[in-house]
Structure 1
Amino acid sequence: MEDGRKLQYVVTCAVSILTSTMGFINTWATPMIRKFWLDEADFQFNDEETKLFFNITPIGLLVGTVFAGYICDKFGRRTTLLTATVIAAFGSIFTALSSAAWMLYVMQGLWTFSLGIVWTVGNIYMAEIVDPDIRGGLTLATRSMFHFGSLLMVLIGETVSYRAMNNWIIIAPLLSFAAIYPIPESPYYLLKVGLEEQARKEMSRLQENVGTEDIDTQFEKMKTLVTMEMQNSSSFFKFISNKRYRKALIITFGLKLFYILSGTTVVQGLYITILIEGDIKLNPRKMVDIDVAIKVGIGILSALLVDRVGRRILLLWSFIGCSLSIAVIALYFGVRDYYTQAIQSIGYVTFAAVIIFLISNSLGLASIKEVIEVELFPLNVRVMAVVTLYVFGGLGYPLHIGVREFENSAGRVSVFWTLAVISVLGFVFTYFVLPETKRKSLKEIQEMLRGDDNVSEQEMTTIQERTERFRDRVISG
């Protein structure tokens, strides 16, 4: 661990505690709903109530995401993350007191609301406080801890009683609050709102053992970048229409769409069928455990590789693995009806294909797209862009319904071949459109998207003049 960046690693640990808490509490339903079915809970929770409980999830995520976009630019990244821990704690109080279905609805609403906040702001915060050469790895490390928290809930939830889990679960959000409270605010945000001295102080903390001259140089570059970016409009209309953001919009929305259509939900819905086809003696519930464990392990591997081999390479291999594994599943089900006995004897191939799909998807597409979403947009529209992308991601729900309708009309094999082709198109899109952002500063990424090899002397003079005008306006206002 580099001494000069020690606080950056400490902050990563703090944010990881928060994301693991989000994974822990938002996976509560996986072991606990089963306890209702087995009459191990304190009250009844029927199928209709369970369905309504799960329908709250996308609503809570959507509202939390939009709310995060509003307070993140108004009160800061750190304050927003702290707000999420408080909301999660209130949800945990309802869990401990739960004696009726409506209390679980409130709990789920508050928990998913807090998850929407953390999922939106966490990446933005990490991108703004971590150095370029470790930004991708540390950001992905915090995301993989979400799945670690999910795995903990699955393992612990199966061994403790319903009431014991509910009484003690509030410890997780309280621990997150304690972890997030001492971390520094993003210097980018502080400069954005005109708190120059505080921004310099926080930057010095994040680079604690770097020489004063180097900090001064870095701070001036950051201040110049913030001033330049904040000169541009932050309206939603300008965001979607301005040519300056067009390439970033195409890349990020394209990757988001390919992820939605990658087939993750379709494959997960086939777990029981694939276990039967492969004659694999495995409880379907254990398949869920394997799924989460793969996300944890491969998420950590992705974090270790992303700043070494790059975003593009991991995404390309991810698309290759997804397309080949889905093609194998399509081929199997396509010929099964004609060569039933011979094909079923190698049904384990479908299980292997599913494992490869989960590994490939977790290695790149499911995680790296979120790092890229934050890196490609300038400060004045960064929060708006991330919120818009997450709201756009909500299209996954109606699209999954459409996939089921397509399966009913055209057959399962047609769905699989379509998903395989989509992954191939994702590979082509990534290869020709996505630039590599590995080890590049946020400033360098913006220059790359604009096609600038460097900033001209004249532009630097203009920027300095804008900086002075911006500073005078803040002081006088």
Structure 2
Amino acid sequence: MGLASSRTQIFATCTATLAFFTCGTFMGWPSPTIARLQSEETEFYITSDEGSWIVSCMPIASILTPIPAGYLVNKVGRKTALLSASLPFLLSWLLVALAQSVWMLYAARLFAGLGLGITFTVGPMYLGEIAEDRIRGALGTVYQLMMNLGVLFEYCVGPYVSSMWLSITSALFPVLFLLTFIWMPESPYYYILKGRRTDAERSLMRLRCVNDPEFIKEELDYIEKFVEQSRTEQGSFKDLLCDSANRKALIIVVGLILFQNLSGINAILAYSTTIFEESNTDLRPQVSVMITGAVQVVLSMVSSTIVDTAGRRPMLLVSGIGTVIALVVEGVFFYLKTESQVDLSHLDWLPVSAIVFYLIAYTLGLGPLPLAMLGELFPTSVKGLAASITCMILGLVTIAVVKFYQVIGDTFGMHFVFFSFAAFCVIGTLFVTLAVPETKGKSLLEINQYLQPKKKTALNIIKS
């Protein structure tokens, strides 16, 4: 099967990940906007503490929707649950456009967080279930590319238009998501879970671009056996925590999510303009963040291209080592500049270069793979619950990072922040080395068998 047989999968992935593009716009929005609201050219002035709360409101709200979203995916389907994220996204941009006070921005960011929680819970599940094994890694990491494109959009447009016009143009993307994704097929795994084999057959034929049911019969039987195996579980916390394979999968995914976010990515994206202002480089801060955003987009394309060839573990290890190097360099620069009062004017290119290198390393593995692996490691019955728990942890860690970044930076210095992020990356790299399995080219059944090797799974039944 070639590219022609994958076109519906690719189009479904692109339309579904417009939700992640929208998340990227919300992640990138604070960088140009907070810098403006703390300057003289502002619509209304905000303090440094208010700025940190504007950034923090989104992850705070994001912990409220994963549990309801995890429940909805098995009740109304992956597609409908993901489409529901468009409503809070649109409400958020409406509030930003009308904002006359910091409290309206708080409310806007809370709505954005509700949509983000839904997207990060449901999106990876949908992407993992519609893709063939041979391209599941590539399609499962497209969300990172789309998210980076959303961030870059805010970096490029934000400095040159008013807050109202930035919000109006940004609101076009959740509308585009709603108008395009609504026509995409539902996950065949969901239909099998609901006992709707005929609908699952139609969905799978559409995804594989074939008209003859015989062409997808073996894969459909494979899905049915996999879902049937998971029917013995009720999708409860007990099933998730007491089953050894599910428990191991949860530890792996939560560990990767912690590794990803304690590397400091959300703080660096939100405060990138401020970081470059403090480093006093020759480049304008707005230009520097555009460069970093463009680098992320290019590397996201590279990551999606090579993930099914290079494998998950090697990319995560390279990513971890690269982020450690970049963060240590950034920390040393700020330490010498602020604590030792060393003249570093001849090295004013270094902070931007280190952040660019950090983003290169992050985007190769840490960025796309944790959520992509969430869609691979869990059986259908507990996948929604696992995604809910993981996304709630993601929200809590993001709150801590973006809120305390400013506090710790003001109290102990920027160098302390970057050294702390580097230390977490060292721990995360060791975790990948010791605990994360390789899932390249494996079916969801084979992955489940690997995590629970002594248990007779549906894969054994099929092969016997």
Q: 1:266 to 1:202 in 2, by over 3 A?
A: closer
State the one-letter code of the partner of 1:8.
Q
Residue range with higher mean Cα deviation, 442-451 or 47-56: 47-56
Question: What is the distance in 1 between the residues matched to 2:424 and 2:29?
Answer: 33
Q: Check the 8 A contact 2:35/2:273 in 1, yes or no.
A: no
The equivalent residue for 2:435 is 433
The equivalent residue for 1:467 is none
SS of the residue corresponding to residue 388 of structure 1 reads helix
Question: What is the distance in 1 between the residues matched to 2:214 and 2:167?
Answer: 52
Matched, 1:388 2:359: no
Residue range with higher mean Cα deviation, 361-370 or 203-212: 203-212
The equivalent residue for 1:424 is 426
The CA deviation at 1:272 is 5.7
The equivalent residue for 2:453 is 451
Question: Which runs of structure 2 are paired with 1:46-445 in the superposition (5 Å)?
Answer: 46-47=46-47, 53-98=54-99, 103-167=104-168, 169-209=170-210, 212-264=213-265, 280-331=281-332, 345-346=346-347, 348-393=349-394, 394-398=396-400, 419-445=421-447
The CA deviation at 1:453 is 11
Q: Check the 8 A contact 2:86/2:175 in 1, yes or no.
A: yes
The CA deviation at 1:216 is 1.2
Cα-to-partner distance string for 1:136-170 (whole Å, 9 max, x where unaligned)? 11121232112212222332333334444445554
Aligned residues with identical type, % of pairs = 27
The CA deviation at 1:102 is 5.0
State the one-letter code of the partner of 1:373.
L
Q: Check the 8 A contact 2:128/2:140 in 1, yes or no.
A: yes
The CA deviation at 1:222 is 0.8
Cα-to-partner distance string for 1:44-66 (whole Å, 9 max, x where unaligned)? 46447656544421222112323
The CA deviation at 1:317 is 0.6
The CA deviation at 1:398 is 3.0
The equivalent residue for 1:470 is none
Counting matched residue pairs gives 460
TM-score for both structures, normalised by structure 1: 0.83
Question: What is the distance in 2 between the residues matched to 1:301 and 1:51?
Answer: 33
Cα-to-partner distance string for 1:349-383 (whole Å, 9 max, x where unaligned)? 45433321221112111221111122111111111
Q: Check the 8 A contact 1:275/1:281 in 2, yes or no.
A: no
Q: Check the 8 A contact 1:86/1:177 in 2, yes or no.
A: no
Cα-to-partner distance string for 1:23-55 (whole Å, 9 max, x where unaligned)? 3355444445566566777x6464476565444
State the one-letter code of the partner of 2:251.
I
Q: 1:403 to 1:97 in 2, by over 3 A?
A: closer
The CA deviation at 1:267 is 5.9
The CA deviation at 1:297 is 1.7
Q: 1:345 to 1:3 in 2, by over 3 A?
A: closer
State the one-letter code of the partner of 2:216.
I
Cα-to-partner distance string for 1:207-255 (whole Å, 9 max, x where unaligned)? 2227532311111111111011121232113312322323212222222
Cα-to-partner distance string for 1:376-412 (whole Å, 9 max, x where unaligned)? 1111111111111121121343366677887789876
State the one-letter code of the partner of 2:65.
G
- Superposition RMSD on alpha carbons, in Å? 3.5
Q: Check the 8 A contact 1:26/1:111 in 2, yes or no.
A: no
The equivalent residue for 1:12 is 13
